[in-house]
């Protein structure tokens, strides 16, 4: 029994050990990048696109995007 499976950062689906795709990505609210798990390359690309658009919109005040 596996108690602590990783979850896809994009969709929340549980990922079996060894099947996850680890990627250093920008997380809004943090400086630099963090290694996060995804279930597919499509979700990696979709998440990076959403973060890039979020950072474009929120450049009016403090910098959430480093």
Whether residue 10 lies inside any domain: the answer is no
Half-sphere exposure of 7 (CA within 13 A, CB side): 7
Whether residue 66 lies inside any domain: the answer is no
Whether residue 35 lies inside any domain: the answer is yes
- Secondary structure element (H or E) that encloses residue 54, with its range: helix 41-57
For residue 26, which phi and psi values (nearest 5 degrees)?
A: -80, 130
The domain of 33 spans 20-54
Whether residue 41 lies inside any domain: the answer is yes
Q: Tell me: the pLDDT tens digits for 5-61?
A: 889 999 999 999 889 999 999 888 888 899 999 999 999 999 999 988 887 776 655
pLDDT for the residue numbered 61: 55
CA distance 65 to 53: 11
Residues contacting 19, CB < 8 A, separation 6+: 39
Q: Tell me: the pLDDT tens digits for 40-49?
A: 999 999 999 9
- The answer to whether the predicted template modeling score (pTM) of the entire model surpasses 0.75 is no
């Amino acid at each position: 029994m596996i108690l602590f499976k990783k979850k896809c950062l994009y969709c929340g689906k549980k990922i079996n050990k060894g099947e996850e795709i680890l990627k250093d990505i920008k997380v809004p609210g943090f400086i630099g990048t963090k290694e996060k798990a995804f279930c597919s390359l499509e979700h990696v690309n979709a998440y990076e696109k959403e973060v890039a658009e979020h950072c474009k919109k929120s450049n009016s005040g403090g910098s959430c995007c480093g």
